[in-house]
Amino acid sequence: MNKATRWFSRNLIRIYAVIGFAYLFLPIVYTFVFSFNDSKKSNLVWVGFTLNNWKNPCGAPDVCNALGNSLKIGVLATFFATILGTLMAFAMGRYAFKGRSVVNILIFLPMATPEIVMGASLLTMFISFGFNPGFWTIVIAHVMFCISFVVVTVKARIASLDPRLEQAAMDLYADERETFRRITFPLVAPGIAAAALLAFSLSFDDFIITNFNSGDVNTFPKFVYISAQRGLPAQANVIGSSMFLIALIIVLVGQFVGRKRAGVR
């Protein structure tokens, strides 16, 4: 074997990793770079470097209104879906009741249903109930499809909880409430937090169901979709990149805190 092939075979894994990550991150890098593009109407070709878009992210008409709506809907949907989903997860993970296995299957249905079908059906339902599509119909729709994900995530965490820990707490004079407060909840909390983050990201970037049920309320994905047809303003890239950076920071902080709590020396 000559030197080049040896080097190649030894670094194959690394080369593969670099290509893999390039595939994953190139679009994000592209988004990020073009958030600095000094574009006028359409952000498709590189014109020149500017910080203006970052200094004035609300510069493009309606972008911040749409973003604000998305954030409000995301927070509300996350709040309700996390509470309802967590309660359901406890009920399904902890109590034996008639038809539990049926419920376990039913909870997967909203995840398996095509969004386009669900969006259309929801709209039909809202209209026949006499609701006008708008802000609250979006929230209701989002809570609905987020719940399944919350239930599944939290239930997995509950299932991995050793029941003997709660029994040990009871043995050590903690009544049912104290046991939940001191043992069960703190141990399940990471699962609930993960579920909430998941719910928020699902809600924030949902387009299909939202598009059906939003009436004339604009959300960020809807804004991006509509403006992409006539030329996406660079501010959308700024907001996209910021979301990515915030998510990245959350993940890194989470990792750091998790490590500290697990006590890795």
Partner 1 sequence: MVDASTSAHGDLTLTNLTKSFGEFVAVDDLDLVIPQGSFFALLGPSGCGKTTTLRMVAGLEEPTSGKISIGKTDITFEKPYKRPVNTVFQNYALFPHLSIYENIAFGLRRRGVKDVDKQVQNALELVELTHLASRKPNQLSGGQQQRIALARAIVNRPALLLLDEPLGALDLKLRRAMQIELKWIQTEVGITFVHVTHDQEEAMTMADTIAVMNEGKIEQMGSPADLYDNPRTSFVANFLGQSNLIKGSIVDSSGGSAVVDIFGTKVGLAQDRNHAHDSSVLLGIRPEKIRIQPAGTAMHGNILEGGVISDASYIGVSTQYQVEMPWGQELMVFEQNDDGTPPLAKGDAVVMSWEPIFTFGLAGDQDATAGSEANPDSE
Q: Which residues of the chain form contacts with partner 1 (CB under 8 A)?
A: 162, 164-165, 167-175, 178, 182-183, 186-187, 261-263, 265
Q: Letter for the amino acid at 238?
A: V
Backbone dihedral angles phi then psi of residue 49, each to the nearest 5 degrees: -80, 135
By C-beta, is 169 or 224 nearer to partner 1? 169
Distance between CA atoms of 223 and 242, rounded to whole angstroms? 17
Least separation, in Å, of the C-beta of 82 and partner 1? Answer: 20
Q: How far is the CB of 173 from partner 1 (least distance, A)?
A: 4
Is the Cβ of residue 41 or residue 265 nearer to partner 1 in the bound state? 265
Pick 100 or 181: Cβ nearer partner 1? 181
Bridge partner residues of 37 (DSSP)? 49
A 10 A CB-CB count for 140 gives 17
User: Among residues 61 and 190, whose Cβ is nearest to partner 1?
Assistant: 190
Minimum Å gap between C-beta 262 and partner 1 is: 7
Least separation in angstroms between CB 263 and partner 1: 4
- What's the length of the chain? 265
> From the CB of 195, what's the least distance to partner 1, in Å?
18
Q: Which of 14/260 has CB closer to partner 1?
A: 260
Cα torsion 74, 77, 80, 83: sign: negative
Q: For the CB of residue 96, give the shortest distance to partner 1 in the complex, in Å.
A: 14
Q: Report the run of H or E that residue 28 belongs to, with start and end.
A: helix 12-34
Q: Which of 107, 78, 76 is nearest to 91 (CA)?
A: 107
Query: By C-beta, is 98 or 164 nearer to partner 1?
Result: 164
> The tokens 């509509």 sit on which residue?
226
> In 35-162, where does DSSP find H-type helix?
52-55, 63-94, 100-106, 109-112, 115-128, 135-159
Q: From the CB of 168, what's the least distance to partner 1, in Å?
A: 4
Nearer to partner 1, 190 or 231 (CB): 190
Residue 49's beta-bridge partner residues? Answer: 37
Q: CB burial class (10 A; 0-12, 13-18, 19+) of residue 233?
A: buried
| C-alpha span between 14 and 127 (Å, rounded) | 55
